[in-house]
Structure 1
Amino acid sequence: MHDPALEVTDLSFRYGKKEALRSVSFRVMPGEFCALLGPNGAGKSTLFALLTRLFVARQGRIAVMGQDLQTNPRAALACMGVVFQQMTLDLDLSVARNLAYFGALHGLSRREAALRAGAVLERLDMAERAREKARNLNGGHRRRLEIARALMHRPRLLLLDEPTVGLDTRSRAAITAHVHALARDDGIAVLWATHLVDEVAPEDTALILHQGEILQTGRADQLAPKGGLAAHFMHLTEEPVT
């Protein structure tokens, strides 16, 4: 049996007196597409900040491919690729140079970085844009470039925080399909944070987060087989009437 690519155990976090996460526990297995669903303010961004060590967890445990993020952060972080909600590309560099720079940060030789860049751009239907400046790309292609960059060091876990925000329906569908294919074909574990339930396939794992707590987790089509995931999600996260 495979070990989890990501294992989160009893994770809690506070901003002063405000509790942002409360005893969050879950696993993401290799090849699994896990959709982290939650409305704005649910705690998704806080969770991603802890997973990427932008914040340091003082309560609970995070392990990536068996590596404890607290005690062995370098090994844990080396196993993951990240696409943040806010764009982090250098717009004055070409597509290829953005990837080459990232490859150098991970210790790749120029030749190896070029080979990997060509492969990931081909996979994401971006090969013909390698020499274009990032600022000349539309929103959907910029997101594809960020995903390509996150794959340069061949991570076993891919974290994406609201990666389709601001994109049109066609671009959202294309990027969602690409990332599902990465999980299915390459065995990459994916944690995809979103508030858009149409990005979740029936066979995906759905993890519903609300007010810092996990309300429910399971295969998407088994969580809400009748009314659909959208209705189920809205019902679970609606505020109680007082």
Structure 2
Amino acid sequence: MSLLVSDLSFSYGSKTALDGVSFSVGRGQFAALLGPNGAGKSTLFSLLTRLFVTQGGAISIAGHDLKAAPLAAMADLGVVFQQTTLDLDLTVRQNLRYFAALHGISGRDADNRIDTALDRLGMAERAGEKARGLNGGHRRRTEIARALLHDPKVLLLDEPTVGLDAPTRAGLTRHIHDLCTETGVTVLWATHLTDEVLDTDQVILLHRGKVLADGQCGNLRNKRPLPDYFAQMTGAPA
């Protein structure tokens, strides 16, 4: 499995944020992490990206234990956070070149990777534009292109479509699904919008720090009884 989470627990003092969370995502799979505000999605992403230290359980990324081999694990991880992290005063290409340099990628190799990533995300014509002048959808595409520069095995996206209009959301979601098919990258996509999830996608339903359901979206839609929250999100009868 490209991403393996085993019996993960985390608390803020006396408040439990995650309670025995376990799931796995295979190579090339698009997995949607669904859940309401306060479900534990942000805490989970903070643990996956080492912003927080694991209190209980284990995380494996592309076969590397995050605690035992953090450098190897993080080298195979790409991340797009909910809040934009672009330098708005740099051009699209300059933002990507800076990130490439942080990963020890330079010269012609960096240029080739940047061109490939921008072309894949439909951003090649905007390479010389400053990030400040991009709309929300193009900023997101730039961040995704940046996250793919070092050829990660796993890509995490934390509610990447927040604030985007419906056509832009649909286009961005389609691009990520295509990436899974074309490159074999494993995607964990945190959202609370079920229209971003295909019936063939894996769904991990998180609620109050626990996994309520984990399976193919189409199968979960047809399962009875449905978990209450999933029924509310999909509009399906429970």
- Segments of 5+ residues of structure 2 without an aligned counterpart are none
Partners of 1:8 and 1:27 within 8 A in 2: yes
How do residues 16-95 of structure 1 correspond to structure 2 at under 5 angstroms?
16-95=13-92
Offset at residue 83 of structure 1 (A):
0.3
Cα distance, 1:225 vs. partner? 2.4
Partner secondary structure for residue 93 of structure 2: helix
Q: Specify the code of the residue in structure 1 equivalent to 2:178.
A: A
Aligned to 1:102: 99
User: How far has the Cα of 1:110 moved from its partner?
Assistant: 2.1
Counterpart of 1:165? 162
Q: Distance in 2 between matches of 1:109 and 1:127?
A: 19
Partner of 1:240: none
Alpha-carbon offset, residue 234 of structure 1: 3.9
How many Å separate the matches in 1 of 2:132 and 2:103? 24
Counterpart amino acid of residue 196 in structure 2: E
Do the aligned partners of 1:224 and 1:232 also contact (CA within 8 Å) in 2? no
1:109-157, Cα deviation, whole Å (9 max, x unpaired) = 2221111010010011100000000000000000000000000000010
Please state whether the residue corresponding to 1:224 is helix, strand or coil: helix
Q: Which of 113, 116, 125 is matched with 1:116 structurally? A: 113
Structure 1 residue ranges (4+ consecutive) displaced by more than 6 angstroms after TM superposition: 229-232
Deviations 1:174-222 (A, max 9, x none): 1100000011111110000000000000100011000000000100000
Amino acid in the other structure paired with 2:26: M
RMSD: 1.8
Q: Kindly provide the amino acid, as one letter, of the partner of residue 7 in structure 2.
A: D
Q: Residue 132 of structure 1 aligns to which amino acid in structure 2?
A: E
The match for 1:220 among 217, 220, 223 is 217
Match of 1:187 in 2: 184
If the length of structure 1 is used for normalisation, what is the TM-score? 0.93
Cα distance in 2 for residues equivalent to 1:10 and 1:226: 25
Measured in 1, the distance between the counterparts of 2:138 and 2:228 equals: 31
Q: Match of 1:11, as an amino acid?
A: L
Superposed CA deviations along residues 17-62 of structure 1, whole A, max 9, x for unmatched, are 1000000000011010000000111100000000000000020000
Distance 1:232 1:32 in 2: 23
| Alignment CA distance shift 1:231-1:140 (3 Å) | farther
Q: Measure, in 2, the Cα distance between the counterparts of 1:187 and 1:211.
A: 31
Tell me the CA shift for residue 232 of structure 1.
6.3
